[in-house]
Structure 1
Amino acid sequence: MHDDSVLVERRIRRELLEKVLPAMYSATMPMTVQAWDAPGEPVPYGEAMAALATQARPFAIGAKWSRPWGTTWFRFTADVPAAWSGPQLEAVIDLGFHPDAAGFQAEGLVWSPGTDGLGAPVQGIHPRRTGLPLPLAPAGPLEVVLEA
């Protein structure tokens, strides 16, 4: 019997990249991104939020960020259309991941203000988990804060 595993895997990868992944999201919109590089670690949520409010810089998608083992806080904003609000809404955050490796890359942590305003971790972002479900996001302004 012939071993065509290399050929089959190439076909599967092409199908995945060309057809399956582009069809996962029927509608998309870019988010505005701002970034602040923390001077040291750890930086509490409140300090990061104050710095994002006063020192954040515009961040271009695909630009380099932080230094090795450094921390950058990101603010993602968008205006959610009324037709999009509901349980299917999801933000996709790619920190520049390489698609063929799960580890030894960047990772992030999404934060919410929390009930006390001191910040509460929501979900990790990594190469195998780039989607952030937003089922409670109403139509209108949306803000996502991520520490990476």
Structure 2
Amino acid sequence: MHEDPQWEAPEGSWASSAARRRNMQAIRNRDTKPEQLIRRLVHAQGLRYRVCARPLPGLRRTADMVFRPAKVAVFIDGCYWHGCPEHYVPPKVNSGYWSEKVVRNVQRDRDTDQRLTDAGWLVLRFWEHEPSDACAHKIAAAVLARRADSRKY
């Protein structure tokens, strides 16, 4: 960490100050509270899954929960980073950069959804503000339905 107030961001760095850099480094990209709660609820229903795993080996993107045999990928999206229509508030500082980043995230999310769907996966996306018990119920229902469908053949 750079405690020196004279520290300047390297050329091309996204961090506009040492304080901003520390703040951004502290943001979790996995194991957030909504993810942990939903995982606990799904696990309590007897379902097992991979955490922060790549559904497709050749795709450099990870899902928050992956049910491989059922081919279900679950994403719990943060309202800010994924542009929630209800809660996203554009930043006041360096707004061009951050707004473009969120747009790129949303585009990547849609691309990921399409690639997984094309490969036969069911993609479930939830916002971090959605009730965890409702999310867990939808996940369990989808996984169990896909398992039942696969047994028919």
- Normalising by structure 2, report the TM-score: 0.26
